[in-house]
């Protein structure tokens, strides 16, 4: 059996990148022996590690800051270091989207050995940042005053998130990225404060985000799992390694999948399926403590298939019975650095899965088959929702890094991964 070293690479890459940003924030890893302070985050409305007893913190739910009004929000942007200026990033402008693509491609997430680098396509970025009711001003950039070069980026998008029994309009924060040569300029804290200011000006006071390291204070700690689809390629590029007791041919045979999905009525989602999928997903997500609340417009945007961005499938065995099950995954490739044979590692990420008449294991097995048939090399999934029901059986390898879920300005008891119904890109 091939040892899935790639299961560690993804998390190490995320951890490395965020550690660099946290260094800019003068934040250290709380797992170190000196138990350092989280200087920046101690000034923010997040649950602190030193805040009361576990029982006191874990039985209180609700906003952390006192209620505020928009008139109390700072009206002018925060000051930047000399030679830098704010820009609102227009994702409708092709040249600007190209700038964002280049910044992320060269500076966002890379593994420790500089072998793999996330390659967000321009189509993916527009999908991720332009959902219904998106706010252009929440796409925040920093340019060099003299040249106009885009050197830093952070984004927010609006989303209704249910926390326990409370539905809250909040911002999902993502894509904090600073050019590698400017990490010493301490741009990260001012980027976070500026996007927060812009969100607050819209009378929105909560946010959700994820990180690969522990900050004050996770709502949940989740883990990535990885399933080889093209083990020969993964081994040849150094993503995985060949187990000493396994030959290449035996490894390929171990990960072999059927040629086509096995579930009767398994087909690609269409526009006509939006109402049924909306209803199905709403009912399914109601069982989780942290989950999105999605309208038909949201479902249409996030889940209707887009080539090389997102794939969604439904099960409709009997038209009179309607759609009974749903599975989806999104596409996030990585550039393979310095390999003479391969340029790209094509990765699928498990998105939303609704088992009903069909088991989660069978649905995911069909998703693996269609991903393999579409030339994906690896399939990744978090241990959220009911994903643990299929991870081991379908030969997913466990990663060695955690993904932490956070809420900004909202206190809630810590949840297990199985209580999380939210997937952030």
| Catalytic residue ranges | 425
∠ CA 273-279-284 to the nearest 5 degrees?
120
Name the residue among 122, 126, 118, 129 with its Cα closest to residue 98: 122
Name the token pair of 105: 């491609």
Name the residue among 130, 133, 180, 172 with its Cα closest to residue 154: 172
Distances (CA, A) of 34 to 218, 376, 377, 405: 20, 43, 41, 24
Rg of the chain on CA atoms, in Å: 22
Looking up tokens 């890893």 gives 29
Name the token pair of 155: 């984004």
Name the token pair of 23: 């260094």
Whether 206 contacts 410, CB under 8 Å: yes
Distances (CA, A) of 220 to 36, 99, 144, 171, 214: 21, 34, 37, 18, 10
**Alpha helical stretches, state H, 223-375:** 231-236, 248-254, 274-285, 296-303, 360-373
Name the residue among 163, 125, 143 with its Cα closest to residue 408: 163
φ, ψ of residue 50 in degrees (nearest 5): -95, 5
Distances (CA, A) of 356 to 143, 275, 288, 365, 417: 49, 17, 16, 15, 20
Query: Cα separation of 189 and 154, whole Å?
Result: 11
Query: Cα separation of 391 and 388, whole Å?
Result: 5
Which burial class, exposed, middle or buried, applies to 253 when counting CB atoms under 10 A from its CB (0-12, 13-18, 19+)?
Answer: exposed
**Number of Cβ within a 10 Å radius of residue 338:** 7
Handedness of CA 196, 11, 307, 301 (dihedral sign): negative
Q: Quick check: helix, strand or coil at residue 150?
A: strand
Length of the chain: 425
């Amino acid at each position: 059996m091939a040892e899935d070293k790639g299961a560690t690479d993804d998390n190490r890459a995320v951890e490395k990148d965020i550690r660099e940003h946290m260094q800019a924030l003068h934040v250290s890893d709380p797992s170190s022996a000196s138990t350092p302070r989280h200087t920046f985050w101690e000034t923010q409305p997040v649950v602190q590690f030193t805040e009361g007893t576990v029982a006191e913190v874990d039985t209180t739910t609700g906003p952390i800051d006192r209620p505020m009004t928009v008139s109390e929000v700072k009206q002018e942007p925060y000051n930047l270091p000399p030679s830098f200026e704010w820009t609102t990033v227009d994702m409708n402008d092709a040249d600007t989207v190209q700038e964002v693509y280049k910044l992320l491609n060269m500076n966002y997430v890379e593994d420790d050995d500089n072998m793999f680098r996330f390659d967000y396509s321009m189509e993916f970025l527009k999908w991720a940042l332009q959902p219904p009711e998106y706010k252009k001003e929440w796409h925040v950039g920093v340019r060099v005053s003299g040249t106009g070069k885009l050197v830093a980026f952070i984004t927010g998008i609006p989303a209704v998130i249910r926390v326990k029994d409370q539905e809250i309009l909040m911002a999902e924060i993502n894509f904090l990225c600073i050019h590698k040569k400017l990490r010493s300029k301490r741009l990260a804290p001012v980027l976070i404060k500026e996007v927060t200011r812009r969100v607050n000006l819209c009378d929105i006071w909560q946010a959700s985000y994820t990180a690969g390291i522990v900050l004050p204070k996770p709502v949940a700690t989740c883990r990535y799992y990885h399933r080889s689809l093209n083990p020969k390629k993964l081994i040849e590029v150094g993503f995985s390694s060949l187990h000493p007791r396994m030959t290449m041919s035996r490894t390929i045979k171990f990960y072999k999948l059927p040629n086509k999905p096995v579930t009767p009525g398994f087909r690609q989602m269409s526009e006509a399926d939006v109402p049924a999928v909306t209803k199905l997903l709403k009912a399914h997500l109601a069982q989780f403590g942290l989950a999105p609340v999605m309208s038909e417009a949201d479902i249409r945007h996030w889940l209707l298939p887009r080539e090389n961005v997102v794939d969604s499938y439904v099960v409709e065995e009997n038209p009179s019975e309607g759609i009974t099950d749903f599975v989806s995954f999104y596409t996030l490739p990585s550039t393979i650095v310095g390999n003479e044979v391969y340029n790209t590692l094509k990765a699928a990420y498990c998105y939303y899965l609704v088992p009903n008449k069909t088991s989660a294991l069978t649905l995911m097995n069909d998703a693996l088959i269609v991903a393999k048939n579409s030339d994906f090399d690896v399939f990744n999934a978090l241990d959220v929702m009911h994903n643990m029901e299929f991870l081991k059986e379908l030969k997913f390898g466990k990663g060695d890094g955690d993904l932490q879920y956070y809420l900004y300005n909202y206190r809630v008891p810590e949840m297990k991964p199985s209580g999380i119904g939210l997937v952030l890109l």
